[in-house]
Amino acid sequence: MRPRYIFSLLICLLIVGALSAFYSTNFVLVDVLNMSGGVKNVDFISTIPALLVAVDFVLLAMFSIRAMLRPKCFRRMASLYLIYLGVISLIGFVFSILSGIVVYGSFTSDYPFYGYSIGAMILHFALFLLSIILKVIVSRAIGVEDKAMKVNASYALYSGIMFFLVFFAFNRLGAFLFSIEYVSYSTLYMTFPMYIYLLVPPALLLYFALPIIKRFKESEKTKLIYIWIVFSANIVLGGAVIAVGWNNPLFISAVSPAAPLGRIASMPIETIFQITFLFIITIVCAIRQTIAYRKKSREILQ
């Protein structure tokens, strides 16, 4: 399959995964908010199957990008990610059963929607079986020419950071896509920077995905300009959100579906985290990209 088709598939994956990540994360945070109010319950069990579906999308996105960038590692990498899928699906299956028995007392409960528990149970079990079947097929197809990824402490740390970045980017894009349902037009004059700021994490994620397109991969200048734009957008928009939303109950309330933790802390805590997290990643990427661009420029001159 050609890279541009893979890239189009990734865009579709990003949209579906974003909706799943935002929905499941808010599903989890509802229980967090209840527990912060002193409510003791086991409802969090029911949120795990939905959250793990979002995790599946994140892992699929990571695998797709890495497989395109390292085609010689495709089969061995697929074998590893299928193990991840199998383990996650088995956990999701178990918690789907517990959701129906312990939390709702029925597999066809109306909350959070009709048939959630049984639907999640069927989905996770189907993915578990699929992971086993594909694992067997891929394992038999692995040859001596297939290279294995070198896994060390730094690679494991990098993978962990990338997983969190992908999930966070999915969640923020989902918040943006869902904003049409909860945006308050009477307060849009002060909240619009927040909604635009939701697009910065997905923009950073695209920086890692765009190199699968040959033209972007070969242009160090284009990558350099792009990452500095993302870096600047993070600082400017994040700063604007913090300046407007700090100790502003009206702002916090208006954007609470996209930033539910802000209501607990009475400040835009998600934005503070986002601007810090993205600052660290973008400045590292920008510095590395600047060095790569200068190195290539010197090679051209020589």
Tell me which residues of the chain have a pLDDT lower than 70: 1-7, 31-42, 110, 144-146, 148-149, 212-218, 261-268, 297-302
pLDDT for 73 equals 80
pLDDT for 123 equals 93
Structure pTM?
A: 0.85
Report helix angle 269-301 to 200-209, nearest 10. Answer: 30
**Cα angle at 184 between 179 and 189, to 5 degrees?**
105
Burial, 264: exposed, middle or buried (Cβ in 10 Å; 0-12, 13-18, 19+)? middle
Distance CA 63, CA 72 (A): 13
Candidates 99, 89, 98, 95; CA nearest to 125 is 89
Q: Which phi-psi region, left, alpha or beta, contains residue 213 (left: φ > 0; alpha: ψ -120 to 50)?
A: beta
Integer angstrom CA distances of residue 174 from 6, 17, 53, 171, 220? 21, 8, 14, 5, 30
Candidates 116, 110, 95, 15; CA nearest to 57 is 15
Residue with token string 């527990």 = 35
Distance CA 2, CA 174 (A): 27
Question: For residue 287, what is the enclosing H or E element?
Answer: helix 269-301
Burial, 85: exposed, middle or buried (Cβ in 10 Å; 0-12, 13-18, 19+)? buried
Half-sphere exposure of 88 (CA within 13 A, CB side): 23
User: Most distant CA pair in the chain: distance in Å?
Assistant: 73
Is residue 109 within 8 Å of 117, Cβ to Cβ? yes
> How far from the centroid of its chain's Cα atoms is residue 210's Cα?
16
Sequence-ordered list of residues with C-beta below 8 angstroms from that of 85, at least 6 positions apart, any chain: 56, 59, 127, 130, 131
Distance CA 11, CA 13 (A): 5
